[in-house]
Copies of this chain bind each other. A is one copy, B any other.
Amino acid sequence: MSTRSKTSARSLPRTSARPKPLPLPGEARVRVAVVGLGYWGPNLVRNLHELAAAELAYVCDGRPAALASISRRYPAVRQTASYDDVVADPDVDAVVIATPVSSHFELAARALAAGKHVLVEKPLAGSSREAVELMELAESRQLVLMPGHTFLYSPPVELIRGLIAAGELGEIYFISTSRVNLGLHQSDVSVVWDLGPHDFSILQYWLGETPRHVTAMSRSCVIPGIPDVTFINLEFPSHAIAHVELSWLAPSKLRRTTIVGTQKMVVYDDTSNEPVRVFDSGVDLPNPETFGEYRLTYRTGDIVSPQISAAEPLYLELADFCNSIQTGAAPRSSAEIGLEVVRLIEAVDASLASDGGRVALAARTGGAG
C-alpha cells in the first residue's frame, strides 16, 4: 500500500572523512564566484562583499542586463557570461550557484571536478541520485559541498533548536507549519520544490530525524501541472507528526510554525516583531492508568518572547561556508541535510503521483548529519 522512495538502495557518502583544509595561508580570503544573478544572486553578492573572509572574485550570468546591474554597484568585480571562465580560472577557490535547480547538478559537478568548493542554493539537486553523486564527487576530492538552507542560520530557528536540544519543550508531540504567500509561481518547479526545502531543512535540524512516512495532497490552481498549494503530512521515527502547508496563493504572507511538546509549546512567526514565543502550557496526566478528563490538568503559564539577535542569516551561512573551506569543519547546512531534504521532496512527489498514497522513506544508511 505504500511506495518506497528510490533512494533506499543507493549508498550514501560516509560523513567521517572531512575535506582537508584548503592550503591557504593564515589570513587568506576565500575567492568566490557567484553564478546566477536572478532573485537571490544580488543578496549573495552583497553579503560576500561585506564578509571579511571572502573575496568576491567573479559574477557570472548569461544575461548582459543582470551583469550590468551588478557592475554598476561593484565595478571592481570581474564578470563573465561564460561559466567556462569561472571553472577554468585557478584563482577561483569556490563557487556559489544561484541558478534554477535544473542546472544545479551540472554546474556543481563541473565546479567540483575543477577542484572548487561549492555552495549551491537550495535544493542541493533536482534528484537524490544527483545529490548523492555530487556528495561522492565532493568527498573524493575533499571539497566542501554545501546546500544553501539559509533558515538553518536564522536566529529564531537556532534558538528553537537550542530549546529542543536542552529538553525545555520536552518530547515533541507535533509540529504544524504554514509557509504561504501570494506568488511567486515558478514555471519550472512546483511549490514543493520551491518552498519545501525551507521547512524540510528546519524540521531536520530541529528533530534530527527524517520522516518515515509521507502523505500529500496538492492542486495546480493557476498553471496546469505545477502544484501551487500542497498539504503534506509527515510521520517521524520518534512518533512525532508534522503538517506542512505550502502555497503560492494566500491572502497575506504567512510563515508560522507551532511546535507542541510535552513541557512547553512554541510559536515561531518569521514575519513578526517577536518571532519566537514560548508558552509554558501543557497537559499533565497524574495517573496514566486511570484517565478521563477529570484526571487531566491543563497548565497555562507565562508566555515569553525571548530577545533574538538580529543577524542576517545569509551572512552567517556564507561565513560558515568560508569557515568550512578554511578549517575543514562541517558546515551546519551540510550536504547530508541537503540530501534528506531532496529525498523528502521526492517522497512528497511520489505521494502526489499516487493520488495521495502513503509513501515510506528508508532510514538514511549514512551518518546522521
Binary per-residue interface labels of chain A (197-240) against chain B in the complex, 1 for a CB within 8 Å, 0 otherwise: 00000000000000001011111011110000101011100011
Binary per-residue interface labels of chain A (143-174) against chain B in the complex, 1 for a CB within 8 Å, 0 otherwise: 00000000000000000000000000000011
Say yes or no: A249 contacts B283, CB within 8 Å: yes
Contacting B at CB under 8 A, from A247-294, are: 247, 249-252, 258, 260, 262, 265-267, 273-274, 277, 279-283, 285, 291-293
Say yes or no: A187 contacts B293, CB within 8 Å: yes
User: Does A1 interact with chain B (Cβ within 8 Å)?
Assistant: yes
Chain B residues in 8 Å Cβ range of A217:
215, 233-235, 241, 243
Chain B residues in 8 Å Cβ range of A357:
1, 357-358
Which residue of B is nearest A299, CB measured? Answer: B182
User: Does A303 interact with chain B (Cβ within 8 Å)?
Assistant: yes
Binary per-residue interface labels of chain A (282-317) against chain B in the complex, 1 for a CB within 8 Å, 0 otherwise: 110100000111001010111111110000000000
* 11 A-B residue pairings within 8 Å (CB atoms): A1-B355, A73-B73, A173-B229, A174-B247, A176-B178, A185-B293, A222-B285, A223-B285, A249-B283, A251-B260, A251-B279
Residues of A within 8 A of B (CB): 1, 73, 75, 173-174, 176, 178, 182-187, 213, 215-219, 221-224, 229, 231, 233-235, 239-241, 243, 245, 247, 249-252, 258, 260, 262, 265-267, 273-274, 277, 279-283, 285, 291-293, 296, 298, 300-307, 354-358
- Taking A221-B262, A249-B260, A304-B304 as known contacts, 12 extra A-B pairs with beta carbons closer than 8 A to each other, sorted by chain A number, are A1-B355, A1-B357, A176-B231, A187-B293, A213-B356, A217-B243, A219-B240, A231-B231, A247-B260, A303-B304, A303-B305, A303-B307
